[in-house]
Structures are given as structure tokens and as C-alpha cells.
A and B are shown apart, each in its own frame.
Chain A
Amino acid sequence: MFETSAAEIIFYLFAALAVGSALATVTRKNPVVAAVWLVATFFAVAVNYVLLTATFLAAIQVLVYAGAMMVLFVFVIMVLDVDETGDAEHRRPSRIGRVGYYGAVGLGVGFVLWVLGGTLARLYTTTGADLAGQPDFGTANAVGRALFTDYLFAFEAISLLLMAAVIGAVVVARSRRERLKEAAQVGLDPEARHAAGLHEHEAGDLAAPGPTPEFDFGLPSASGHRGGTT
């Protein structure tokens, strides 16, 4: 356990870091920069977990969030090569639409602030339960035992969800070329091709392969805004 003063210092430091880097995350135009700030947030949150004697969760936070997930983000950003002006407004909604939208956003933000204010207004000094009887609170041992006894069903359900997510991600992210190839292999009839999002005039993609880019970004877009960057 930390000494009281040290714990407080660490908390305020990392809380400030978390809030600051979170702000930076949502304000940066460049997704890559935003992602880096997000990593900083995750680390700061992990430190807060340690302060709350959730050591195992802190480790997971670093491994899964800051490690795996951020790598995924950065990989996608790099591969897609999204330009920095991704946030530019190219279709301005009507005046009423904008007023309504920002009004709703303001309402949501105001509500959260109100709840937060209500919480903070009742400042109390409880720092938590006496854990003398639970020396292993928050360790991998304790959390693991809880996971595999009380929460076994939920745990299994989550594993199923993860598998479904992996499969879903693979299916959703397939390129049109891959989908066409598959359609040709299983011999889809026109209707099924249409249902699979393969329109007739695009069927030529397979017939005349030609030089194809890694990803078929170069296709002329129907709506005609912003061409590809490849």
C-alpha cells in the first residue's frame, strides 16, 4: 500500500494526465496523434486501477487496451491512410438540424455534468472497505477464482462473443475481390449475388483481373466526393 500522501499525489497526477490526454484524444485531427494520446490515457487509467488495488485489472488494461487494441487501431489507421482533414464538413445540415443536434449534445453533456456535480457535492472521505480479511483482493488469483466460479457462464458467453466478433470482423472487412471469388466458387445465382452486395456490372472484376491494387480503393465513387488517395 502507498502512503497516504504518496497515493494522493500519484492519483491527482495521473488523474490529470488521464483527463488531459483524453481531451487531446478527442480534439486531435490526425487519428494517429489521437491514438497516441489514447494510449497515454489508458496508462493513466491503469495507474488508477493500481491505486484501487485492482492490480490484475491494471495489468489487463495495459496488455489488452494499450497493447493489443491500440496496435489494431494504429494498424488500421496506417493501412487506410486516412488524411488529416477527415473531419472536414462537406455536407452541412440545415440550421434547425444543427441547432437540434448541438442542443441534444448539450443536454447529454449537461446531464452528465449534473450527475457528476451531484456526486461531488456530497464529498465524503470513505476510501473503501477494510481489506484486512482479503489480502489477495484484486490479484489474478482472486479475480480468476471469481471468474471461473460465480461468473463462469458469463465468462463463456464472453468468449463466444469474442469469437463471433473475430468472424464478423473478417467477414465485414473482406474486399470486394475476395467476395467475388467466393461467389464464383460457390456459384451464386444473380439474386444471391445481389443480396451479397455484388451488382451485375461489377461481376467483370473477376473476369478481367488486370493490375489490382492491394485494396480496391481506386473505384470511382458514385457520389463523387473525394477520390481515393492510393
Chain B
Amino acid sequence: MPEPSFDLLYIPLFPLIGAVLNLLFGRWAMRTLGDRLGRELVHLIAIAAVAFSCFFTISAVFEVMIGQGHDRLVDKVYPWIVSGETQVGFELLLDHLSAVMCLVVTGVGLLIHIFSVGYMAKDPDYHRYFAYLNLFMAAMLILVLGKSLVLTFVGWEGVGVCSYLLIGFWFTDDAKATAGRKAFIMNRIGDFGFILGMLVIYSVVQSLDVDAIRSMSATETGSPFAKAFFHVGDTNVTVATVATICLFIGCCGKSAQIPLYTWLPDAMAGPTPVSALIHAATMVTAGVYLCVRLNFLFALAPLTMAIIAVVGAITALFAATIGITQNDIKKVLAYSTVSQLGYMFLAVGMGAWVSAIFHLVTHAFFKACLFLGSGAVIEACHHDQDIRTMGGLKEKMPVTRWTFLISCLAIAGIFPFAGFFSKDEILLHGYINESVWSPGLNYFVYVAGALAAFCTAFYMFRLYFLTFEGKFRGDHHTWTHYVKEHWIMSMPLAVLAVLATFGGLLGWPHAFPGAAHMVQLDVGGGRTIPHLEGLPHVLEQWLEPITSTSARFSGEFFVGPQAKFLHDGHVSSTVEFGMIAISLSIAIAGIYFAYTLYKDGPSEAASQWASKLGAAYRASKAKYYVDEIYDVLFVRPVRALGSVLYHAGDQGLIDGVGVGGVAGTVGLTGEVVRRWHNGNVRRYLVILTLGVVVVLGSIYLNPRVAQMGPSSVSERFDPGGLRPTLGEQNVKVKLFGVFEVPWFSGGEDGDGSAADGPPGVPGQAGAQDGGAL
């Protein structure tokens, strides 16, 4: 089926227009229309922009893609970069993968925009906030829809900028501005990897178009990615490995994986809806999206896959253990996000692309809900974020409490909430997928994932109990003057809670009763056709065109059972049920542990545990001193180098010798020349004479000029060869003919003729001249 052209450009265009409108006219509107009306206009524009793009996405996906049965929609907007052989088009691609992402981004984005109306209601920079938020939506959608990696990179950088702008939204607070800078710089480190990865890919494919990369990866005769090698020391590393490792570094930065994760907890300095949208639901999942988008390439690089799996598993566990001890409600959620992203990369590393996207989607629902719930709590508690001074809030904010509880159950992985399905699927794949690179990897990954699941259940319910159960531990004034729940903040929470509850149905496990299975449907006349019956794994079917390429050759390069599993097989129901039982019991154990320790606020038992764990507890509470280690290892050396370069290079060389030197030289010259320029005409004349002597003398003493002296001119004189000036109606105006000096031009001709020997000029003439000299 031919790819139909569809104006996908509108999807990112609407938020972009909204951003421009609010940036240009937002302040004006808020001033001239009055504060209330102005704010109404600002958020109406912003929400309408996102709503348009959301509805547009929905109609594109459900009407055109599903309704008319198109697998891919392509919008070739214009040829963007054309340079010789290199052609990068501004082309948007809506296929099954980007459709999922677009729906999540616009849907969750829309809800968060609505929530922001309540959360930011009193902020003086209301219009700026919504403009940035819209700008983020535009950049994120370009990232998702980009058909070429270059365009994806544009969106990648765009969301980075918006993240920076929104983390440092309250930039008058130095700590928040610093957090923004930290996020930006750490992202830049990752972006460097992304750029290198793109260059490596370009060196092979001569294009950065995703389709071109795919066709190059999936050639029947073996991919050039796997056949070309980089020589690292004595070993050869395939191009695919190098490219994917570089890209994964980029993903580490954007998706907050070890070692580049430290910016994400600090990014909580931004407004809470921003944390929900950018730093939980959408932007940080861009790395996962990129890996799945290029799954055919990653599948060619088993080493990279193993690295990704290990990094993901370690990150999931590492961040989860930090989350246990944090007391800032948003910090807990931030480490939880890092941990869940670790799960996604774990899935990517084990080749479970669908599970990664599945968890990405469900995580977007429940984590956005959790963040928005925490935003509502923070708002209610007058911007106090410390859970030690909360408690008992379930009386005051029932909607928030219930949605928060649902999301906690979801993230902990309790049946039948969304997280149960996605996390269980990841752990299942982690267990059964064997990497050819390192055979025991799947056990390590599974154990790490399971431990992280326990921690997740524990810290989420610790958070829940400390916030909503027990008695309020803050001051009396906050309790009595809490900010009531407003529908505009409760509504998105409710929607997200519903999604967090039922989102898991996207991926109904194969082992479950009612799961889809093929039956032979009798259509009469003895003919049967295969027919799918029951609850399908919707996402797996939907993403089949995306993962089919890698599934086709993954047996050759990567893992055995996984390819089979992904494609058509099932693991035995016993194994799957066993895995589910283990996951559930782990989650319930975590929740029960949290219940015993925190059901009525921090208990004696909790502090006993803390002192029992001793150093481990302190290390976790101090986030394993990673920031401090980075400070010593990287920040200080770089700062010292910067200081040296600033003083020696910038101030000394550029300002001192460069700028100052130029100014000083000019000044000194002026000081000297000023004394010459004294109005004494006779002195001018003498200097003029000396100048003429020097210039003409240097010409006259030049051997070449001396050679073309008068004698040679006369001997070579050839009237017939001269340009006839007269007797011809030559009306061409000779602009600078005056400047022709007969002597020199004649001499040049003579000089050239000595070598070339044109007719009429005897060759001996030059020889005689040479002899005469």
C-alpha cells in the first residue's frame, strides 16, 4: 500500500503557534485585559493548541491508520538540508511506534496543561510558563515524528532547551537556576554521544533517514553495520556496536541513566506539572523511544544490548534504593522515575522492545498521576515538600488520595493495575531472554529487577502512608488553611488514574485466561480461515511492523528464545504464572513492609531499621555521594581548567594580547604618527619622495623588471601585435584603461613570450637578453 501523504506538520505546529502567541502577546494580554481575563486567554490558547494537536493525532491514528488501514503516514514538508550528496528532508513519519508516542505525549500533555491552570494560577509569569510548555510539546512531537535522525535530534535538543527553561523557571532562585544548568550540561554530554552515533551511522548509510538505516540494517546478505569494523586495540568492534553505544550515551543523558542520571532529581526544582510532563512522562522516555525506533540497529550489536541491559538493571536498583530514604516528596518520585526508566532500558537491552514501550506508556500514566498528585499535595501544603511534616491528608483531599493510591498500586505492580502488566512483562523477558554475549546476564538482570520492584513497592507506599495516612505532622496553620482541591486539578488526576488502572489491558499476557489465540474459523463450505479470538496483546500486535525487522535477524545476532517469544511463541504458562506470582508477592511484601513501618507516620521500627542498616542507610540518604564524587572527579577539574583558561587564555591572551594588543598598537602608532602629521608640508614632501624612491627602487631593482628593460622592449617591438586603437569602431568603454602602464604591460608580454615563443618574436631575443644580463 502506498504511503499516503498526510499533513502531519500540524501536530507539532499547533503547540508551536501557541508558544509564539503566548511569548509575544501573553504579557500584553495579562496587562491590558486584566489579570483574570488575561490568564484565561493565555491558558485557553495553550490548551487549545495542545488539544488541537491531540485531536489531530487521534484522528490521524484512528481514522487514517486504523480506519483506512495505512501502516505509515509520511509528510514531506520540504527539503531541509541539501548539500551535495547529503539530503535531509524535513519529513515527518507517523508509524505505529510514533503513533503510540504521539498519543501519549499529546494526551498526557493535554491533561498536564489543564492541571497547570490550577497549579500555576498565581504565578506572575503565567504566559511564559505556558509558552515554554507549548514549546516543549512542539519539540517533543518533532522528536517523535522526525523521519530523519537529524530532525529527531532537533526535537531532542528542543526538549532539552525547554527542560532547561522550565527547570529554571523560577530563575531568581539561584539553586533552581543551577539545577537547570546542571540538567542542560549533563544532557549536552549525552548529546555529544548522539551526534557521534549519527556520524557513525552516516558514514555507513550516507543518510540519516530511519528507513534508509533500516533497509541497510536488514539486508538479506548481512548488514554493512555488522560487517564493517572499528579497530579498538587488538579487537574489532562492529560499526553497529560503536554507533549504538554512542547513541546509548545520548539516551543515558536524556533518560537519566547511570552515569548521567544526577540531573533528574535536581530537575525537580521546576514547577511540579513540568516534572510530571517532562521529567516523568515524556522527555525522559525519549531515549527509550530512540532505542526502539532503531531496534533493528541495536539488535545487530549484542555487546551494546548487554551494556544497556546491565546499565538499566543497575540504574533501576540503584535509584530505587535511594528513593527509599528520601524525604522530599518530589525527590522520591524523581528517583522512582530514574528507576522505572532503568526498567525500560532493561527491557530494551533484553530485546523486549514492546515491553519497553508498554512500560513507557503505563509509566507515563501512573507517574504523571503521581507527580500531579504530589503537585496537588504541595499546593495544599503551601509549597512544603517534606513528607515528614505531612500526614493524614486523605481527609482533606480525597480525590488526590485515591488517585495517588491507584497510581502507587500501579507502579508497585499490583494486579490489575497498569504497572503490573508492563513491569511483569519486563521481568519475564529479563528472565527468559538469553544474551549470546553473556549467558548469565538474564539472571542478573532479573534479580536486580526483582529487588528494584521490592524497593519500588516499599518506597511508594512509604510515600503514600507518610503523606495521606496517619496524623498531620505539620503546623496547625497549614492544616486549617490548606488549599482545597479544585476540579481543574482533580479532573486530570482522575483521568490519569483511570488510565493507570486500565492501561495494562494494552498488553494482556499470553498466559492469562482469555488471551488471544488463533482459531480456525469456519466460513462455510468447508473452508476455514485463521482468526484471532480473545484479548490480544494489543501493543505487541500494533508494534509488530516496528519490531519485525529486528525479530527477523535477531536469531542470527542476538538471542534465541526472545525472537521466538516476540514473534509467535509463548513461554509455557507455568513459567509465566510463576513469574507473576513472584512479582506479586514481592510487591505485596514491599507494601506490607511499608505498612508496618509507616502506617501511622514514621515509627520507632523505621528508625531502628535505619540505625540497623547504619552506613548503608546514610549512604542511600546522601544519594551515595554521587554528586560529591562527580564534583571532585569532573566539576572541580573542569572548573580549575576553566579558571586557568579564563585567566591565561581569555584575559591574558585574547583580552590582553588580542584586544588590548590591537588597541595598544593602534594607540602607539597613532602617538608616533601624530608627531609626523604636524602640518609641515616640506616634511610630507620629503617622506613622499622617499616612499617613491623605495617603491620604484624596489621594482627597478627587481631582476625580472630589469630584464624587461628598454632594450628588450625595443628589440621585441612588434607593431602588428599591438592592440589597434584606431580605425575601428570600438565603442566599448574601457573603465580603467587609464591605468594601463605601457612599459610594464609590454614587459610582461615580452617576458611571457620568451617562454612561449609566439610568432614574430624570435626565440633568440630572450637568449640574448639573458646573456646581456
Q: How far is the CB of B139 from chain A (nearest CB, A)?
A: 57
Please provide the chain A residues from 107 to 164 with a CB less than 8 Å away from any CB of chain B in the complex: 107-108, 111, 115, 118-119, 122, 124, 126, 129-130, 133-134, 136-137, 142, 145-146, 149-154
Other 5 A-B pairs with CB < 8 A, given A107-B689, A107-B690: A124-B711, A126-B717, A133-B727, A150-B730, A153-B733
Q: Mark A89-120, 1 if CB is under 8 A from B, else 0.
A: 00000000000110011011001000100110
Q: How far is the CB of A114 from chain B (nearest CB, A)?
A: 8
Q: How far is the CA of A107 from the CA of B726 in the complex (A)?
A: 42
Asked if B710 lies at the interface with its beta carbon under 8 angstroms from chain A, I say yes
Q: A151 to chain B: which residues have CB within 8 Å?
A: 734, 737-738
Asked if B703 lies at the interface with its beta carbon under 8 angstroms from chain A, I say no
Q: How far is the CB of A123 from chain B (nearest CB, A)?
A: 9
A105 touches B689 (CB 8 A): yes
Across the A-B interface, the 10 shortest Cβ-Cβ residue pairs: A108-B689, A104-B686, A150-B734, A126-B714, A111-B693, A154-B738, A129-B719, A152-B733, A122-B711, A153-B733
Asked if B725 lies at the interface with its beta carbon under 8 angstroms from chain A, I say yes
A122 touches B709 (CB 8 A): yes
B690 touches A153 (CB 8 A): no
Please provide the chain B residues from 697 to 745 with a CB less than 8 Å away from any CB of chain A in the complex: 697, 700, 709-711, 714, 717, 719, 725-727, 729-738
Q: What are 18 contact pairs spanning A and B, CB under 8 A?
A: A101-B682, A104-B687, A105-B686, A108-B689, A108-B692, A115-B696, A118-B700, A124-B710, A126-B714, A129-B717, A134-B726, A146-B726, A149-B732, A150-B730, A150-B734, A150-B737, A151-B734, A154-B734
Interface of B is mostly: helix
Q: How far is the CA of A136 from the CA of B729 in the complex (A)?
A: 15
B-to-A contact residues, CB < 8 Å: 682-683, 686-687, 689-690, 692-693, 696-697, 700, 709-711, 714, 717, 719, 725-727, 729-738
Q: How far is the CA of A126 from the CA of B732 in the complex (A)?
A: 32
Q: How far is the CB of B244 from chain A (nearest CB, A)?
A: 67
Q: B690 to chain A: which residues have CB within 8 Å?
A: 104, 107-108
Given contacts A124-B714, A145-B726, contact A153 B734 (CB under 8 A): yes
Q: B731 to chain A: which residues have CB within 8 Å?
A: 149
**CB closest residue in chain A, given B709:** A122
B686 touches A101 (CB 8 A): yes
Q: B737 to chain A: which residues have CB within 8 Å?
A: 150-151, 154
CB-contact partner of B719 in A104, A130, A153, under 8 A? A130
Q: How far is the CA of A71 from the CA of B729 in the complex (A)?
A: 39
Q: How far is the CB of A1 from chain B (nearest CB, A)?
A: 17
Q: How far is the CB of A136 from chain B (nearest CB, A)?
A: 7
Q: Which of B693, B700, B711, B731 has the largest count of A CB atoms less than 10 A from its CB?
A: B693
B710 touches A153 (CB 8 A): no
Q: How far is the CB of A144 from chain B (nearest CB, A)?
A: 11
A150 touches B686 (CB 8 A): no
Q: B689 to chain A: which residues have CB within 8 Å?
A: 104-105, 107-108
Q: B682 to chain A: which residues have CB within 8 Å?
A: 101
A142 touches B719 (CB 8 A): no
Q: A129 to chain B: which residues have CB within 8 Å?
A: 717, 719
Q: B732 to chain A: which residues have CB within 8 Å?
A: 149-150
B730 touches A149 (CB 8 A): yes
**CB closest residue in chain A, given B728:** A149
Q: How far is the CA of A25 from the CA of B67 in the complex (A)?
A: 107
Q: How far is the CA of A101 from the CA of B680 in the complex (A)?
A: 12
Q: B687 to chain A: which residues have CB within 8 Å?
A: 104
Q: How far is the CB of A56 from chain B (nearest CB, A)?
A: 13
Q: A107 to chain B: which residues have CB within 8 Å?
A: 689-690, 693
Q: How far is the CB of B727 from chain A (nearest CB, A)?
A: 7
Q: A152 to chain B: which residues have CB within 8 Å?
A: 733
Q: A149 to chain B: which residues have CB within 8 Å?
A: 729-733
**CB closest residue in chain B, given A156:** B733
Q: How far is the CB of A87 from chain B (nearest CB, A)?
A: 12
CB-contact partner of B725 in A105, A111, A146, under 8 A? A146
**CB closest residue in chain B, given A122:** B711
Q: A115 to chain B: which residues have CB within 8 Å?
A: 696, 700
Q: B719 to chain A: which residues have CB within 8 Å?
A: 129-130
**CB closest residue in chain B, given A115:** B700
Q: A130 to chain B: which residues have CB within 8 Å?
A: 719
Q: Which of B696, B726, B732 has the largest count of A CB atoms less than 10 A from its CB?
A: B726
A108 touches B693 (CB 8 A): yes
**CB closest residue in chain B, given A104:** B686
Q: How far is the CB of A93 from chain B (nearest CB, A)?
A: 9
Given contacts A122-B710, A124-B710, contact A153 B697 (CB under 8 A): no
Q: How far is the CA of A105 from the CA of B733 in the complex (A)?
A: 41
**CB closest residue in chain B, given A146:** B725
Q: How far is the CA of A150 from the CA of B726 in the complex (A)?
A: 10
Q: How far is the CA of A154 from the CA of B739 in the complex (A)?
A: 10
Q: How far is the CA of A137 from the CA of B697 in the complex (A)?
A: 34
Q: B697 to chain A: which residues have CB within 8 Å?
A: 111
Given contacts A105-B686, A108-B690, A122-B711, contact A134 B727 (CB under 8 A): yes
Q: How far is the CA of A115 from the CA of B710 in the complex (A)?
A: 12
Q: How far is the CB of B37 from chain A (nearest CB, A)?
A: 54
Q: How far is the CA of A95 from the CA of B692 in the complex (A)?
A: 25
**CB closest residue in chain A, given B688:** A108
Please provide the chain A residues from 161 to 217 with a CB less than 8 Å away from any CB of chain B in the complex: none
**CB closest residue in chain B, given A107:** B693
Q: How far is the CA of A118 from the CA of B732 in the complex (A)?
A: 38
Q: How far is the CA of A118 from the CA of B692 in the complex (A)?
A: 17
**CB closest residue in chain B, given A129:** B719
Q: How far is the CA of A118 from the CA of B697 in the complex (A)?
A: 12
Q: How far is the CB of A49 from chain B (nearest CB, A)?
A: 17
**CB closest residue in chain A, given B682:** A101
Given contacts A124-B710, A150-B737, A154-B737, contact A142 B726 (CB under 8 A): yes
Q: How far is the CB of A227 from chain B (nearest CB, A)?
A: 23
Q: How far is the CB of B479 from chain A (nearest CB, A)?
A: 75
Q: How far is the CA of A104 from the CA of B732 in the complex (A)?
A: 45
Q: A154 to chain B: which residues have CB within 8 Å?
A: 734, 736-738
Q: B686 to chain A: which residues have CB within 8 Å?
A: 100-101, 104-105, 108
Q: How far is the CA of A41 from the CA of B733 in the complex (A)?
A: 35
Q: How far is the CA of A105 from the CA of B687 in the complex (A)?
A: 10
Q: How far is the CB of B565 from chain A (nearest CB, A)?
A: 85
Q: How far is the CA of A126 from the CA of B713 in the complex (A)?
A: 10
Q: How far is the CB of B732 from chain A (nearest CB, A)?
A: 7
Q: How far is the CA of A129 from the CA of B742 in the complex (A)?
A: 14
Q: B693 to chain A: which residues have CB within 8 Å?
A: 107-108, 111
Q: How far is the CA of A136 from the CA of B726 in the complex (A)?
A: 9
Q: B727 to chain A: which residues have CB within 8 Å?
A: 133-134
Q: B730 to chain A: which residues have CB within 8 Å?
A: 149-150
Q: B711 to chain A: which residues have CB within 8 Å?
A: 122, 124
Q: How far is the CB of A138 from chain B (nearest CB, A)?
A: 10
Q: How far is the CA of A119 from the CA of B734 in the complex (A)?
A: 31
**CB closest residue in chain A, given B735:** A153
Q: How far is the CB of A197 from chain B (nearest CB, A)?
A: 15
Q: A124 to chain B: which residues have CB within 8 Å?
A: 710-711, 714
Q: How far is the CA of A128 from the CA of B714 in the complex (A)?
A: 9
**CB closest residue in chain B, given A136:** B726
Q: How far is the CA of A154 from the CA of B737 in the complex (A)?
A: 8
Q: How far is the CA of A215 from the CA of B694 in the complex (A)?
A: 44
B726 touches A119 (CB 8 A): no
Q: How far is the CA of A146 from the CA of B682 in the complex (A)?
A: 39
B717 touches A150 (CB 8 A): no
Q: How far is the CA of A118 from the CA of B701 in the complex (A)?
A: 11
Please provide the chain A residues from 58 to 86 with a CB less than 8 Å away from any CB of chain B in the complex: none
Q: A136 to chain B: which residues have CB within 8 Å?
A: 726
B710 touches A119 (CB 8 A): yes
Q: A153 to chain B: which residues have CB within 8 Å?
A: 733-735
Q: How far is the CA of A23 from the CA of B692 in the complex (A)?
A: 23
**CB closest residue in chain B, given A126:** B714
B710 touches A150 (CB 8 A): no
Q: Which of B687, B719, B732, B736 has the largest count of A CB atoms less than 10 A from its CB?
A: B719
Q: B726 to chain A: which residues have CB within 8 Å?
A: 134, 136-137, 142, 145-146
Q: A126 to chain B: which residues have CB within 8 Å?
A: 714, 717
Q: How far is the CA of A137 from the CA of B693 in the complex (A)?
A: 34
